[in-house]
Amino acid sequence: MKLGFLVDLNLCMGCKGCEIACKVENEVPLSSWRLRVKYVDVGTFPDTKRTYTPLRCNHCADAPCERICPVSALHYLDNGIVNVDKERCIGCAGCVMACPYGAIYIDPETNTADKCTYCAHRVSGGLMPSCVVACPVEANIFGDLEDTESNISRYIMQHQGNVQVRKPEKGTHPHHFYVGGGEIQLNPLASLRQEGHNLFNNITHLKHVGGHH
Amino acid sequence: MAHETIEAMNAVVTLDVALPGIVWPWLVTMNMWAKSIGTGVLFLGYFMFRYYGNENSVKEMKLPIAILSFTFLSMFLLFTLADLHQPFRMWHIFFYPHWTSPITVGAVIASVLMGLVSMLVVAAYLKRDDIFEKAWMPTLILAIPVTLYTATLMGMSTARELWQVPVELVQMMLAALLSGAATMLLFGHKFSFEVNRMLAIVLGASAAAGFTIYMGEYVFGPFKAEEVAATLAYIKGDGEYTAMFWIGQVIAFVIPMVLTYLGVTNKNRILLLPAAISALVGLWIVKHVWLMIPQLLPMS
Ligand code: SF4
Ligand code: SF4
C-alpha cells in the first residue's frame, strides 16, 4: 500500500476548511502550519483571477528530509507515509532545510520537528485524514496509489496529461498530486510576495520554549 | 521561467500564513567558522613541520597548534550543540544513528577527531614526541572529512540550490586553509621570514581562489537554476544582504590578497598581521551571508 493525495485545483474554492480541520485535529500551534491554502491573485484589474492552492507535505518516495535526519526521527511507515517521531527528534532542523517544499516546521511548544503526517493516527484506525473529511467540494482525494481501483488511482487515470507534482526536477517523487495546476500555483518563485500587501499582516509568532530563536 | 511568469501574469501572493524564518541562525555560522580554524591550523601545522621542521620556533609550535585546534574544535562542537532545539538529546545521534545523514557522520568523525586532538595536546604538553608523531597523521587525515562534511550537509538541502556540493567542498577547504594560515600568522613574529612567506602565500592564494569562486557564483550562478537567481537577488541591488556580502568579500579576501602580496614582495612582516586579522573577521561575515540568503527563499 502506498498512500497518496490528489488535490483538484479546479474544485478548490479556497474556503480553508481543510486548513482549520488540520489545525484542530493535530493541535498545530500558532504561526505554524501542516497544511495551508495559499491565495495568489493573477492579472491586472479588472481582468483578475484568484487561485487557491492547498500545500502540505508530499510524502515523497525519495524524501530528502528522511535522508538528512541524523536519528531517523523522520521515517517511512509501511503505507508510504513519512512520519515524525517527536520523542526521537533532536531539533537540528536539518529536515527543515532539506525539504524543498518548506513543509516542516519546528514546533515552538515541543522544540521538535513536525509536519503533515497524512493523519497517520486516523488512517491507522480506518479514518480519512481530517482535511479530506472537511472539504465541502471533495477537492482532496486520498487513497492507495497501488490499488488501481482506488479513487485516487482512477482520478489520476481519468486526468492523464493534467496531473502535476511540485518541483518534479528535485527528484523527490512526491506522493501528492495536483490536477488543474499551473506555474502560478505550484512554483513559489512564479509569484511576487509584496511586503505589506498580505491580507494577514499581523501574524503572531510563538516564542520557542527554551529555544534560541 | 518563473521571472517571465511573474511579468506576464502579474501574479501576487495575497493570502498566506507566515513562512518559517531563519532556521539555521548565526550559531551555525560560528560552528563553520570555528571548525575552519580548528582544522585549518592542523593543515598549516603540517606544512610548517614538513618544510620548516628544523627551525626551533616551528618545533615549539606543537603545543600551541594542538591547543588552538582543541579550543576551536570545542567551540565548533559547543555551537553545534547550542543550535539544537533539543540539546540534551544529542546522545540520540550515537544511539540511533542514521548513516545517510551527514549530521550523523559528522558528529561521529568530529568526536573521534576531538579525541585525537586531545591526545596531541597531552603528548605535546608532556613532550612525548613519539606519541605526538603517531597521532599526528591520523589526526590530519580525519581533519579533512571533518572540514568537508558541512558542505555535503548543505548540498543535501534540496532546493537551496546556491549550495552545490563540489563548489561548497572547495570553499570549505579554502576557508580552512585561509583561517589556518591567518591564525598561524598571528604568531608570525616567532618565525623566520621564510615561514611567514609560506603562510602569507597560502593565505593570499586561498583568498584569491575563494574570491574567484564567489564572484563566479555571483555572475554565472543565475544561469544554473531559478532558485540560484532568486537567492542571489538578496545580495544584488538593494538586496537585504548586499552591503554585508561586499563588506565580507573585501575584508575576507581583497584586503588579505593585497596585504599579503605587498608583505611578501617587500619582505614586510608587519603587513601580514592586519591581513590575518582581516581574513579571520571577513571569513565569518562571508560564511554568514552565504548561510542566510538561501534561507530567505520561499519554498512553497
Ligand atoms: S514534502 Fe518535504 S517533508 Fe514531506 S516527505 Fe517530501 S521532503 Fe519530507
Ligand atoms: S529536526 Fe528532528 S526530525 Fe528534523 S532532521 Fe533533526 S532530528 Fe530529524
Q: Express each pLDDT in B78-129 by its tens digit.
A: 999 999 999 999 999 999 999 999 999 999 999 999 999 999 999 999 999 9
Look at residue B18 and tell me if it is in a domain. Answer: no
Task: Look at residue A183 and tell me if it is in a domain.
Answer: yes
Helices within chain B (DSSP H only): 2-9, 26-52, 56-59, 62-83, 92-95, 102-125, 129-155, 165-185, 193-220, 226-232, 242-249, 255-265, 272-292
**Is it the case that residue A195 has pLDDT exceeding 80?**
no
Would B150 be classed as within a structural domain? Answer: yes
pTM over 0.90: yes
Q: Is residue B2 part of a domain?
A: no
ipTM (interface predicted TM): 0.92
Set of cell numbers at residue B271 = 603587513
State yes or no: pLDDT of A211 exceeds 60.
Answer: no
A97 part of a folded domain: yes
Residues of chain B contacting residue A50, judged by C-beta atoms under 8 Å apart: 14
Q: Counting atoms of ligand 1 from 1, which one is nearest the CA of A58?
A: 1
Confidence of residue A198 (pLDDT cuts 50, 70, 90): low
Asked whether residue A178 is assigned to any structural domain, the reply reads yes
The rounded distance, in Å, linking the Cα atoms of A29 and A110 is: 10
Which CATH number goes with the domain that contains B155? Answer: 1.20.1630.10
Read off the pLDDT of each residue in A75-100 and give the average, rounded to a whole number: 97
Distance between CA A55 and CA B271 in Å, rounded? 56
The parent domain of residue B231 ranges over 25-296
CB neighbourhood size of B93 (10 A): 21
- What residue owns the CA closest to ligand 2's atom 5? A69
Given a contact cutoff of 8 angstroms between Cβ atoms, the answer to whether B23 and A106 are in contact is yes
Residue A18 covered by a domain: yes
pLDDT band at B5 (very low <50, low <70, confident <90, very high): low
A97 to B98: CB separation less than 8 angstroms, yes or no? no
Chain A neighbours among B 243-282 (CB < 8 Å)?
none
- Please tell me the residue having the least CA distance from ligand 1 atom 8: A65
- Better pLDDT: A138 or A45: A138
Of A84, A52, A57, whose CA–CA distance to A71 is shortest? A84
Domain assignment present for residue A211? The answer is no
pLDDT in tens, B252-290: 999 999 999 999 999 999 999 999 999 999 999 999 999
- Total tally of structural domains belonging to chain B: 1
Does residue B83 sit at the A interface (CB-CB below 8 Å)?
yes
User: Considering the domain boundaries, does residue A25 fall inside one?
Assistant: yes
Q: Is the pLDDT of residue A212 over 60?
A: no
Burial (CB < 10 A; 0-12, 13-18, 19+), residue A18, is: buried
**A102 CA: distance to closest CA in chain B (Å):** 5
pLDDT at B2: 65
Nearest ligand (C-alpha, residue A175): 1
Question: Given CB atoms, is B16 within the 8 Å cutoff of chain A?
Answer: yes
Q: How many domains does chain A have?
A: 1
Distance between A156 CA and the closest CA of chain B, angstroms = 23
Q: Domain with A179 in it: what CATH number?
A: 3.30.70.20
User: Is some CB atom of chain A closer than 8 A to the CB atom of B17?
Assistant: yes
Do B12 and A72 make contact, defined as CB atoms within 8 angstroms? Answer: no
Which structural domain, as residue segments, surrounds residue A14? 3-190
B212 and A CB contact within 8 Å: no
Q: Which three cell numbers stand for residue B20?
A: 518559517
Residue B193 pLDDT level (bands cut at 50, 70, 90): very high
Q: Residue A64 domain-assigned?
A: yes
Nearest-angstrom CA–CA distance, B282 and B225: 28
